[in-house]
Chain A
Amino acid sequence: MAKNEIKYLTAIKQEKPKKKFCRFKKYGIKYVDYKDIEFLKKFINEQGKLLPRRLSGNSLKYQRKVQDAVKKARQMSLLPFVTDLLK
């Protein structure tokens, strides 16, 4: 048993992940504009794919609004369908 290997009896308490909130409800945003690319970029990952709700923290109603705003932006080539190192 290596000397410096410290065994903890109880697991180390990781810092609790920040409570996710739906930004649309909190800040009262009612419309997701498909032309506002900077805002939409918060909801897609580096490959340009949509972030799932568990990561973006959106409620279902607004996740769907984000989803078709991103799809409209992709259609009008404001956002790429697939890319790497988008940000």
Chain B
Amino acid sequence: MSNYELMVIFTPVLSEEDFKASQKKYQDMIASFGGATVHSNPWGLKSLAYPIQKKTTGIYWVLEYSGPTDLNEKLKIQILRDEQIMRHMITKLDKYAVEYNHVKRNGGFAVKQKMEA
């Protein structure tokens, strides 16, 4: 059960409840494939650094989950089939990443030393 992080960019024309519905759809799909979602973090509408499919804004969604190794392939097929999604990226999280995300979520990083330069 290794940890993964999925970041998805939806088309900006997506309405709010469609956005929620597809979030729910993918979370249930992960659960049905035997994974468990750790944390879902919708960023909402953000402007892109460069236009994707002639669109300059996109709805971002970051989902952290853990699952068996074959889960990502099944998930990728579903994501590629869904045309509301412009771009997605699945990254594998090592133990430092998981700890980083955990600390960032609750409490963030106490500024012990001011980072100069």
Residues of A within 8 A of B (CB): 18, 23, 27, 30-31, 33-35, 57, 72, 74-81, 83
Contact = CB atoms under 8 A, between A and B. Distances in A.
With most chain B CB atoms within 10 A of its CB, the pick from A35, A72, A74 is: A35
Interface string B74-109: 000000000000010101001011011100100000
A80 B89 contact: no
Interface residues of B, number: 21
B9 interface: yes
A84 to B, nearest CB: 13
Contact of B49 (A18, A31, A78): A78
A80 B49 contact: yes
Contacts of B100: 30-31, 33
24 contacts: A18-B117, A23-B115, A23-B117, A27-B115, A30-B96, A30-B100, A31-B94, A31-B96, A31-B97, A31-B100, A33-B100, A57-B117, A75-B89, A76-B9, A76-B89, A77-B9, A77-B50, A77-B52, A78-B49, A79-B49, A80-B50, A81-B49, A81-B50, A83-B49
